[in-house]
């Protein structure tokens, strides 16, 4: 490819107005062999400090037809180019709009399709001239720098006000450790199958390797100067005018996941960034909650955050240091920019114009205009400039081992999960019994009883034979007719009188009917009687006729024509009356039960909602305490795993502490370590979550079980975030119960079941893992919840400085990690020491251990890591370079806002509206 690029010239864009300072710059690209025929786009990569205008602003400028402008956020270049008409034949021009100032600049030529990476095209600037990727051409001058404080080289010697230690861990591939191999061959894989997988996927050696390197770096923060930033407000004063400003400054936490908890404080579940206004504090707190970092010590000079890099086939100290420095630069630069951006949003200043003092706690400013002209003020925020540098601190050889569950041949989990021995805080939440005083319990209407009524009646003397009236004789029941009484004289006709008397009754009381005959009182008359009359075949009393009858068995009227008596008649309530009362009582009780059930439901819902709000508002325990607990759990499992080597656990612990820095032990619990098999299979109607919401038990207040402590409304302890199994309709599902009695509220036949978590409108956002069905510790953080639900962790124990060779020899013992693959030839890599070529893996590891032991015990190296605290800030040319051991290799500047605002007088051109 032979390309020639020449500067054609520049023309004025406009004679007046805001574009008068810009010109159209044009370059010509020529190809001697039609090399551009298949190139869809070409562009000049010019420095990013040139004030190039977007060509879309000038649709009427013919020279800008097909022109475009692209910025590369990762490079200090911007692309000004043109979309070519394919095939592109003959010379092509590239035009763009920029200020008129001209100088010689380095320019690249690039080609490529839209949305694809650019390809650098070598070119010449004169016919027959040299061809190169970068050439010097006339180009616009750099835009004048924005006033943002003094240059950084003027702050040489400034001591850091804060620092943070980072690290990068890289497994060293090649050695196949016994512990990690046993972890994967415990059931699901045989040793031969594991070997076959390792041969097919070489990166498996990074998993099986028992050793790795931790590259340590320190991030320093330097306080530079301050300057005024962008305007935060504007005000104007007429001649002689006075205005009083009340400034209310509020710092708020604004993060990706926030929930307003009060009027002035925003909190988030993970507590990622609280009320920090400094980038150093924000970085520290971000590291404390970053779940992708290895958890390690955070105090006493320890390192707080270790990133996990891919396995390294090279054992070279220099090679791993260079790779780790690049990863550290990428992460810390991104992290620092992120927290700086979040701090920028933390500051919010509100100005209120007032004529009287309304808030004595706020800052008050009185601004007066004593001139005879209108005065404008910009309220500009005061900004801080903070310098950041990274330094390499050294390397540590480390032992890595997997601890936790394994999968057997049947896919089942065996062993002990790392977090199983960690207790979880149970929140005490006593919910009072529901208040039922607002519901009046109905008094049941009593079922009416029997009612007795006394009637004053008489039995008349009715004689049918013998003349008469013979009412002074004794009469007895006639044998032939029991309804008659008979008196037989010595001579003459027998006297017969009436003995059976029916007695109609008055109408019974409302709702009653006659039931039985009570007491019949003849007041001492000479009479005997019975009330049963089987001969008449009717009941006595007769309910249908509302009457009763008596039959005399002996009587002597003693000359009276009638015998009076009092009849007590017993009445009973009608069955319809009883049923009506029962139904009324049942209806009243049902209304009461419904009211009570409603209160119980409300109380239950409120109790669950209050508990969720309380659980979500529980502050996490200090992350350092949580990490120490987890570290002890991991360390206990490690000691238990080494019982075959050293049966006495105490001796094993002390032996390991002699060679390994247990206090700096790391353990990685990252997204690829989730419990296998936990989510296998779809949830069903009977699926249980890790911590189900207690069921609602509806009991009336007078039930003996009402005060049972198992009633969820009366309160208990709360272990975790509530889960609940529910279902939704599958896509396209239809109801199948379309026959008689179709109930549209019934669910369709096909359902999708899920174990969901409960939230309320006032609860904080649910913690990470809630949708995955995790067990959530209420006072834990995101890392603790990952640890509790992880199947295994990868523990990394740094070897104590000066014990590298002794620790390596101990690891090679048969019962610890063994010597598998150590006799294989080391795969020498470019950048490795020449003396490593042709040696075995074990020999190279021995040399590496000796090299690290010597470097980590050299006082000069230790002093080099502390130089910054003596000499202060030393500007780094270029901003970044691959790390040399113990040297500063990266530098950048962060700009942070303050809560201070300064009023600056400004003047505007009344014609152009621009600031003068």
Chain segment 427-449, per-residue pLDDT in tens: 888 887 778 888 898 999 999 99
The stretch 234-252 carries a mean pLDDT of 74
**Each residue of 352-378: pLDDT tens digit?**
444 444 444 566 777 788 888 888 888
What's the confidence (pLDDT) of residue 721? 80
Question: Can you tell me whether residue 597 is helix, strand or coil?
Answer: helix
User: Residue 331: what pLDDT?
Assistant: 56
- Name the pLDDT band for 783 (thresholds 50, 70, 90): confident
pLDDT digits (tens, 9 = 90+) for 814-846: 778 888 888 888 888 888 888 988 989 889 899
Tell me if 384 sits within 8 A of 280, measured CB to CB: no
Q: What is the per-residue pLDDT for 105?
A: 93
Pairing assessment for the beta strands 716-718 and 547-556 based on DSSP bridges: unpaired
Residue 270 has pLDDT above 70, yes or no: no
Q: Which positions ≥6 away from 523 have C-beta within 8 Å?
A: 564, 565, 566
Determine the distance from the C-alpha atom of residue 856 to the mean position of all C-alpha atoms in its chain, rounded to a whole number.
43
Give the model's pLDDT for residue 749: 64
Contact (CB, 8 A) for 315 and 835: no
Tell whether the model's pLDDT for residue 348 goes beyond 50: no
Angle (CA) 296-896-346 rounded to 5° is 80
Do residues 113 and 180 share a domain? no
- Would residue 432 count as lying in a domain? no
Q: How many whole angstroms separate alpha carbon 648 and alpha carbon 643?
A: 7
The conformation of residue 148, written as its DSSP 8-state character, comes to -
What is the three-class DSSP state of 35?
Answer: coil
**pTM over the 0.75 mark:** no
Q: Above 60 in pLDDT, residue 284?
A: no
d(CA 56, CA 60): 9
CA distances from 351 to 175, 232, 489, 745, 913 (A): 66, 10, 133, 55, 24
Q: How many CB atoms lie within 10 A of CB 736?
A: 10
The answer to whether residues 538 and 590 touch, using CB atoms and an 8 Å cutoff, is no
Q: Which of 758, 789, 820 is the last residue of a domain?
A: 789
For residue 107, is pLDDT > 90? yes
First to last CA, the chain: 51
Residues 535 and 397 in one domain: no
Residues 411 and 395 in one domain: yes
pLDDT at position 80, please? 95
The 3-state secondary structure of 214-276, one letter per residue: EEEEEEEEEEEEEEEEEEEEEEEECCCCEEEEEEEEEECCCCCCCEECCCCCEECCCCCCCCC
| Residue 429: inside a domain | no
In this predicted model, what pLDDT tens digit does every residue of 636-655 receive, in sequence order?
888 888 877 788 888 888 88
Question: What is the pLDDT confidence band of residue 687, given thresholds at 50, 70 and 90?
Answer: confident
Last residue of a domain, one of 738, 756, 789: 789
Q: What's the whole-number mean pLDDT along residues 525-548?
A: 84
What 3-state DSSP class applies to 105?
strand
Q: Coil, strand or helix: which one is 97?
A: strand
Helix H, strand E, coil C: the string for 397-438 is EEEEEEEECEECCCCCEECCCHHHHCCCCCEEECCCCCCCCC
Please count the structural domains in the chain.
Answer: 4
Count CB neighbours of 358 within 10 A: 11
Residue-wise pLDDT tens digits, 5-53: 999 999 998 887 778 889 999 999 998 777 788 888 999 999 988 989 9
Q: What is the mean pLDDT of residues 545-569?
A: 92
- Nearest alpha carbon to residue 288 among 771, 685, 626, 753: 626
CB contact set of 15 (below 8 Å; sequence gap of 6+): none
Residue 279 shares a structural domain with residue 203: yes
Cβ atoms of residues 644 and 815 within 8 Å:
yes
Give the residue numbers spanning the domain of 405. Answer: 153-256+268-290+313-418+797-904
pLDDT of residue 263: 30
Look at residues 26, 845, 582, 667 and name the one whose alpha carbon lies nearest to residue 295.
667
408: left (phi over 0), alpha (psi -120 to 50) or beta: beta
Rounded CA-CA distance 621/881 in Å is 40
Residue 296 inside a domain? The answer is no
Supply 895's token pair. 């700009």
Same domain, 93 and 157: no
411 in the same domain as 278 = yes
The answer to whether residue 844 sits within a structural domain is yes
SS3 content of the chain, % helix, strand, coil (to 5): 25, 35, 45
Q: Are residues 898 and 873 in the same domain?
A: yes
CA torsion through residues 564, 570, 571, 575, sign: negative
Instruction: Return the SS3 of 710.
Output: coil
Residue 305 placed within a domain: no
Helix (H, G, I), strand (E, B) or coil at 6: strand
Contact 572, 515 (CB under 8 A): yes
- What is the pLDDT of the chain when averaged over all its residues? 79
**C-alpha to C-alpha distance for 679 and 772, rounded to whole angstroms:** 8
Question: Using one digit for the tens of pLDDT, what is the confidence trace for 843-890?
Answer: 989 999 998 899 888 888 888 888 898 899 998 877 777 778 888 888
Does residue 687 sit in the same domain as residue 766? Answer: yes
**Which pLDDT does position 136 carry in this prediction?**
93
Which stretch of DSSP H or E encloses residue 574? none
Structure tokens that stand for 521 in this block: 């009182």
The angle that helices 804-811 and 649-659 make with each other, rounded to 10 degrees, is 140
How does strand 484-487 pair with strand 512-521?
unpaired
Burial class of residue 518, CB neighbours in 10 A (0-12, 13-18, 19+): middle
206, 174 contact by CB (below 8 A): no
Determine the average pLDDT of the residues in 243-262: 50
CATH number for position 18: 2.60.40
Q: How confident is residue 311, by pLDDT bands cut at 50, 70 and 90?
A: low
Residue 404 phi, psi (nearest 5): 130, -145
Nearest Cα to 248, choosing from 357, 352, 377, 382?
352
Residues 755 and 648 in one domain: yes
Judge contact between 306 and 293, C-beta under 8 A: yes
Considering only residues 598 and 270, tell me which one the structure prediction assigns the higher pLDDT.
598
In a domain, residue 722? The reply is yes
Q: What's 764's DSSP letter?
A: P
Say if residue 555 is in the same domain as residue 467: yes
Position 422 pLDDT exceeds 50: yes
For the ranges 625-634, 660-669, 865-874, the lowest mean pLDDT is seen at: 660-669
Asked whether residue 15 is domain-assigned, the answer is yes
Domain boundary among 789, 819, 847: 789
Residue 94 lies in a domain: yes
Whether residues 373 and 405 share a domain: the answer is: yes
Q: Confidence class of residue 214 from pLDDT cuts 50, 70 and 90?
A: confident
275 lies in the same domain as 385: yes
pLDDT digits (tens, 9 = 90+) for 183-199: 776 656 777 777 788 77
Mean pLDDT to the nearest integer, 408-422: 77
């Amino acid at each position: 490819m032979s390309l020639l690029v020449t500067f054609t010239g520049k023309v004025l864009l406009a004679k007046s107005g805001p574009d008068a300072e810009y010109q159209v710059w044009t370059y010509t690209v020529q190809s001697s062999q039609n090399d551009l025929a298949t190139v869809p786009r070409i562009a000049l990569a010019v420095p990013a400090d040139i004030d190039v205008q977007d060509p879309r602003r000038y649709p009427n400028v013919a020279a800008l037809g097909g022109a475009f402008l692209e910025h590369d956020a990762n490079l200090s270049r911007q692309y000004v180019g043109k979309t070519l008409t394919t095939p592109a034949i003959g010379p092509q021009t590239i035009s763009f709009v920029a200020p008129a100032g001209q100088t010689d600049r380095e320019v690249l030529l690039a080609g490529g399709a839209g949305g694809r990476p650019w390809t650098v095209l070598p070119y010449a600037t004169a016919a027959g001239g040299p061809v190169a990727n970068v050439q010097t051409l006339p180009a616009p001058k750099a835009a004048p720098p924005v006033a943002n404080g003094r240059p950084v080289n003027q702050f040489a010697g400034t001591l850091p006000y804060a620092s943070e230690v980072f690290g990068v861990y890289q497994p060293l591939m090649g050695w196949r450790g016994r512990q990690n191999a046993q972890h994967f061959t415990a059931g699901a894989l045989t040793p031969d199958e594991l070997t076959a997988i390792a041969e097919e996927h070489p990166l498996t050696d990074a998993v099986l390797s028992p050793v790795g390197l931790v590259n340590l770096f320190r991030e320093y923060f330097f306080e530079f100067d301050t300057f005024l930033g962008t305007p935060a407000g504007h005000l104007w004063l007429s001649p002689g005018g006075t205005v009083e400003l009340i400034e209310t400054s509020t710092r708020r936490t604004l993060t990706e996941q926030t929930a307003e908890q009060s009027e002035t404080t925003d909190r988030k579940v993970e507590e990622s960034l609280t009320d920090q206004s400094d980038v150093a504090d924000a970085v520290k707190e971000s590291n404390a909650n970053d779940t992708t970092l290895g958890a390690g010590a955070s105090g006493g000079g320890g390192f707080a955050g270790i990133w996990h890099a891919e396995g390294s086939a090279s054992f070279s100290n220099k090679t791993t240091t260079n790779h780790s420095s690049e990863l550290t630069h990428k992460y810390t630069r991104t992290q620092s920019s992120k927290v700086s951006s979040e701090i920028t949003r933390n500051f919010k200043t509100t100005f209120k114009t007032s004529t009287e003092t309304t808030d004595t706690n706020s800052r008050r400013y009185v601004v007066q205009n004593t001139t005879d002209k209108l005065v404008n003020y910009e309220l500009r925020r005061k900004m801080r400039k903070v310098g950041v540098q990274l330094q390499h601190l050294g390397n540590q050889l480390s032992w890595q081992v997997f601890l936790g569950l394994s999968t057997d041949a049947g896919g089942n989990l065996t062993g002990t999960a790392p977090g199983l021995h960690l207790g979880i805080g149970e929140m005490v939440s006593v919910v009072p019994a529901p208040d039922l005083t607002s519901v009046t319990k109905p008094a049941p209407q009593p079922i009416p009883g029997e009612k007795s009524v006394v009637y004053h009646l008489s039995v008349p003397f009715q004689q049918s034979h013998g003349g008469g009236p013979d009412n002074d004789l004794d009469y007895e029941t006639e044998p032939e007719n029991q309804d008659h009484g008979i008196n037989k004289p010595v001579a003459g006709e027998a006297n017969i009188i009436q003995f059976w008397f029916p007695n109609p009754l008055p109408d019974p009381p409302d709702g009653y009917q006659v039931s039985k005959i009570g007491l019949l009182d003849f007041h001492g008359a000479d009479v005997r009687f019975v009330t049963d009359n089987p001969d008449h075949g009717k009941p006595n009393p007769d309910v249908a006729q509302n009457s009763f009858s008596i039959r005399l068995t002996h009587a002597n009227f003693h000359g009276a024509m009638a015998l009076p008596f009092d009849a007590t008649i017993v009445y009973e309530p009608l069955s319809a009356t009883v049923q009506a009362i029962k139904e009324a009582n049942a209806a009243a009780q049902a209304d009461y039960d419904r009211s009570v059930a409603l209160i119980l439901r409300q109380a239950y819902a409120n109790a669950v909602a209050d508990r969720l709000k309380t659980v979500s508002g529980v502050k996490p325990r200090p992350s350092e305490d949580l990490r120490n607990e987890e570290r002890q759990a991991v360390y206990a499992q490690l000691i238990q795993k080494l019982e075959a080597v050293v049966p006495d656990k105490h001796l094993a612990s002390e032996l390991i502490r002699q060679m390994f820095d247990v206090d700096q032990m790391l353990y990685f619990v990252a997204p690829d370590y989730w419990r296998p098999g936990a989510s296998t299979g779809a949830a069903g109607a009977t699926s249980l979550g890790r911590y189900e919401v207690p069921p609602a038990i509806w009991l009336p207040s007078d039930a003996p079980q009402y005060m049972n402590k198992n009633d969820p409304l009366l309160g208990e302890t709360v272990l975790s975030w509530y889960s609940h199994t529910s279902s939704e309709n599958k896509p396209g599902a239809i109801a199948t119960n379309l026959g008689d009695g179709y109930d549209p509220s019934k669910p369709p036949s096909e359902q999708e079941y899920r174990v969901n978590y409960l939230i309320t409108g006032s609860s904080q956002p649910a913690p990470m893992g809630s949708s995955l069905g995790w067990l959530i510790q209420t006072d834990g953080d995101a890392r603790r919840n990952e640890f509790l639900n992880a199947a295994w962790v990868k523990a990394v124990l740094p070897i104590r400085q000066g014990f590298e060779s002794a620790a390596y020899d101990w690891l090679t013992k048969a019962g610890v990690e063994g010597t598998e693959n150590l006799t294989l030839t080391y795969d020498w890599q470019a950048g490795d020491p020449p003396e490593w070529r042709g040696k075995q893996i074990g020999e190279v590891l021995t040399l590496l251990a000796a090299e690290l032991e010597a470097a980590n015990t050299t006082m000069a190296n230790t002093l080099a890591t502390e130089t910054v605290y003596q000499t202060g800030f030393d500007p780094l040319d270029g901003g970044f370079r691959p790390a040399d051991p113990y040297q500063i290799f990266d530098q950048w500047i962060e700009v942070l806002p303050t809560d201070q605002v300064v009023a600056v007088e400004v003047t505007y051109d009344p014609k152009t509206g621009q600031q003068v």
